[in-house]
């Protein structure tokens, strides 16, 4: 959310910006230039290098850290000259320097409701939405921490949908450990206090209790406060959720923690799908166990090493079938045998036995006996000369057969896993649909309630400012492309922020700069797009999203200019069907 300055250029005057900002006129002027072809002029080569470098550097800077930059550059490089890019960067710099809260449309905002309270008495204030503010006595202080007395003016307002968030200019982006999220809000409020026209603070050790009316019953929301200096939100923990079930409007509340997912998970239909998920897991295990087990990987024959000592032994084929298939097999004395002496070759041994060694199939334990003498040696099967060639040929044939068998098993395992994942995904999709239907039904019913029946999200604050009950969310997924925002006259709009409204989510998803290098939306939802150029709102209608498709990777979004001037936020909501 924190605004980032891409270039560190000298300050540019407003007159220079105004002079440069008409990109279309610049293009028309360049089209009418006549005379000697540029490529025949002597200064052309050095100049064109400078211009190309300027254009390339500008394109790289404008699209830094963005995907699909190559597509965007190829279609827009010819539209922006070096001088125009300077003006565009100046515009972005001016936008980035704006205050944290910056309403995009001048004169259009959520108005404050004003309340009066006597500082030493405190009080309880009721807002039109059904919200309640409970103020303790002696809750206000000046900038030095001195407790104030007398009349205090409280200014309070709320924000409950994407239109509210849009006109307020309050950022809905949350940066957590370098990862940016977009807020899905269950309700947002701002409260400030004044005495004699001067803003005051909350007194130390004092808290104001807030019961914020909300249209959302979920418990997945956290409470955040906006830090307008750091340009980020601070997470304050969880709020408390209460539902007023008294039809007579009494102030008695019954705590009702609403969790649609938990409620749906308790239904027989949902549990039946859980059983089926366990069943397909059992089927998967059974099918994997039924697959033929591949034989052990054959050991590659080893060639006798020069200067090493070997023994020639007759091996019992019944006891060591893995060795009996080879002819000319020798056993090489391992280097780990510290008790070996070449004089052992001069002895006629009464008994020589061999057993499998510590490395199965790779080494063996050789025991030599002569009267009272006994030696234990670790030996390794080796071959020499033609015997090695024959052994390698046999090994290669066995290894090919082993690989074929192994690959068949791997393919079978993969097919079983894919079938299992597909079945589980289908059952989980049905469960998610059940939850979504229940959530929609609950939300529809809730919207029909009057203010006395709505959920109230309860929390306490110890300082004035903007507070938000939110669930951090990633951008909607489904269609992904690079988007170039244009006017109806096919002119690139000069805009810094572009806002996506997804009607399935109570949030405002903000994209920065035009073109939008990574633009995504959920095609299954009802979507709108807003942006502002020179105080004029442009929007992309829900039906226009059908023309945006991912395959091309690059889409020109032809926005609709809103020529109407809205006197109130209610007029704006009516215009956009909120």
Place of tokens 């072809």: 37
Q: What is the pLDDT along the chain (578 residues), one digit of tens a residue?
A: 434 333 333 344 444 444 444 444 433 444 344 444 444 444 444 443 333 333 333 333 334 334 444 444 444 444 455 667 788 888 999 999 999 999 999 989 998 988 999 999 999 998 888 899 999 999 999 999 999 999 999 999 999 999 999 999 999 999 888 888 999 999 999 999 999 999 999 999 999 999 999 988 888 999 999 999 999 999 999 888 776 554 443 333 323 333 467 767 877 888 999 999 999 999 999 999 998 887 788 888 888 888 888 887 766 666 666 565 556 788 889 889 888 888 888 888 888 888 888 887 788 888 888 888 899 999 898 888 888 888 888 888 888 888 888 889 889 999 999 999 999 999 999 998 888 877 776 565 555 444 445 689 999 999 999 999 999 999 999 999 999 999 999 999 999 999 999 999 999 999 999 989 999 999 999 999 999 999 999 999 999 999 887 665 788 999 999 999 998 888 999 999 88
- Asked whether the beta carbons of 377 and 413 are under 8 A apart, the reply is no
Helices (H) and strands (E) in the chain — how many of each? 11, 27
The domain spans of the chain are: 14-96, 101-244+454-474, 310-382, 477-578
| Alpha-carbon dihedral angle through residues 300, 303, 305, 311, given to the nearest 10 degrees | 100
Indicate the pairing of strand 554-558 with strand 479-486: parallel
Place of tokens 């409620």: 263
Place of tokens 């009721």: 126
- Asked whether the beta carbons of 222 and 178 are under 8 A apart, the reply is no
pTM of the model: 0.54
What the block records as the tokens of 539 is 């929007």
**CATH number 3.90.1690 given to 101-244+454-474:** no
First to last CA, the chain: 26
Nearest-angstrom CA–CA distance, 119 and 184:
35
CA distances from 307 to 82, 304, 310, 327 (A): 76, 9, 10, 22
Task: Assign residue 385 a region (left: φ > 0; alpha: ψ between -120 and 50; beta: otherwise).
Answer: left
Domain 477-578: give its CATH code: 2.60.40
Nearest-angstrom CA–CA distance, 387 and 369:
29
Nearest-angstrom CA–CA distance, 186 and 328:
82
Q: What does 111-131 look like in DSSP terms, one character per residue? A: PPEEEEEETTT-EEEE-TTS-
* Per-residue exposure over 537-572, b if at least 16 CB sit within 10 Å of its own CB, e if not: bbbbebebbeebeeeeebbebbbeebeeebeebeeb
Closest CA to 7 of 97, 101, 76: 97
| Sheet of strand 364-370, all strands in order from the earlier edge strand to the far edge | 310-311, 330-333, 373-382, 364-370, 351-356
């Amino acid at each position: 959310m924190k605004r980032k300055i891409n270039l560190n250029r000298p300050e540019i005057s407003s007159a220079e910006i105004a002079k440069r900002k008409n990109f279309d006129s610049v293009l028309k002027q360049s089209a009418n230039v006549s005379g000697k072809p540029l490529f025949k002029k002597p200064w052309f080569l050095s100049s064109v290098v400078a211009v190309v470098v300027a254009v390339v550097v500008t394109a790289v800077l404008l699209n830094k850290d963005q995907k699909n930059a190559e597509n965007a550059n190829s279609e827009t490089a010819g539209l922006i000259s070096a001088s125009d890019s300077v003006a565009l960067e100046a515009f972005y710099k001016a936008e980035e320097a704006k205050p944290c809260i910056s309403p995009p449309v001048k004169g259009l905002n959520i108005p404050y409701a004003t309340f009066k309270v006597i500082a030493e008495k405190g009080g309880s204030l009721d807002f039109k939405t059904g919200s309640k503010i409970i103020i303790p006595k002696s809750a206000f202080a000046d900038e030095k921490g001195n407790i104030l007395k007398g009349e205090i003016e409280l200014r309070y307002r709320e924000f409950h949908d994407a239109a509210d968030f849009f006109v307020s200019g309050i950022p809905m982006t949350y940066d957590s450990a370098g990862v940016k999220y977009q807020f899905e809000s269950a309700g947002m409020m701002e409260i400030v206090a004044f005495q004699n026209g001067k803003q005051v603070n909350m007194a130390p050790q004092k808290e104001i209790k807030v019961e914020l009316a909300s249209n959302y019953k979920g418990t997945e929301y956290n409470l955040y406060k906006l830090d307008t200096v750091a340009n980020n939100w601070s997470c304050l923990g969880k709020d408390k959720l209460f539902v007023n079930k008294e039809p007579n409007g009494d102030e008695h509340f019954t705590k009702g923690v609403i969790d649609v997912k938990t409620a749906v998970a308790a239904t027989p239909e949902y549990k039946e799908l859980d059983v089926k998920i366990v069943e397909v897991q059992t089927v998967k295990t059974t099918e994997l166990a039924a697959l033929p087990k591949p034989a052990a990987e054959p050991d590659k024959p080893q060639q006798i090493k020069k200067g090493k000592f070997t023994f020639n032994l007759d091996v019992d084929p019944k006891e060591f079938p893995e060795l009996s298939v080879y002819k000319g097999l020798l056993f090489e004395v391992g280097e780990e045998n510290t008790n070996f002496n070449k004089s052992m070759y001069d002895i006629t041994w009464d008994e020589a036995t061999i057993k499998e060694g510590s490395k199965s199939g790779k080494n063996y334990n050789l025991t030599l006996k002569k009267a009272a003498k006994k030696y234990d040696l670790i030996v390794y099967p080796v071959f020499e000369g033609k015997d090695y060639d024959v052994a390698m040929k046999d090994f290669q044939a066995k290894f090919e057969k082993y690989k074929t068998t192994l690959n068949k098993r791997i393919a079978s395992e993969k097919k079983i896993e894919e079938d299992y994942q597909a079945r589980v995904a289908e059952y989980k999709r049905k469960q998610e649909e059940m939850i979504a239907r229940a959530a929609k039904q609950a939300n529809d019913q809730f919207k029909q309630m009057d203010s006395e029946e709505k959920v109230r999200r309860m929390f306490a604050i110890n300082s004035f400012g903007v507070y938000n009950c939110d669930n951090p969310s990633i951008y909607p997924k489904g269609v992904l492309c690079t988007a170039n925002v244009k006017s109806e006259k096919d002119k690139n709009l000069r805009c810094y922020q572009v806002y996506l409204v997804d009607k399935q989510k109570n949030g405002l998803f903000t994209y920065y700069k035009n073109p939008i290098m990574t633009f995504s939306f959920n095609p299954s939802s009802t979507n709108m797009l807003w942006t502002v150029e020179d105080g004029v709102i442009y929007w992309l209608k829900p039906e226009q999203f059908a023309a945006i498709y991912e395959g091309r990777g690059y889409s020109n979004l032809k926005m609709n200019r809103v020529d109407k001037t809205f006197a109130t936020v209610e007029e704006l909501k009516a215009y956009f069907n909120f």
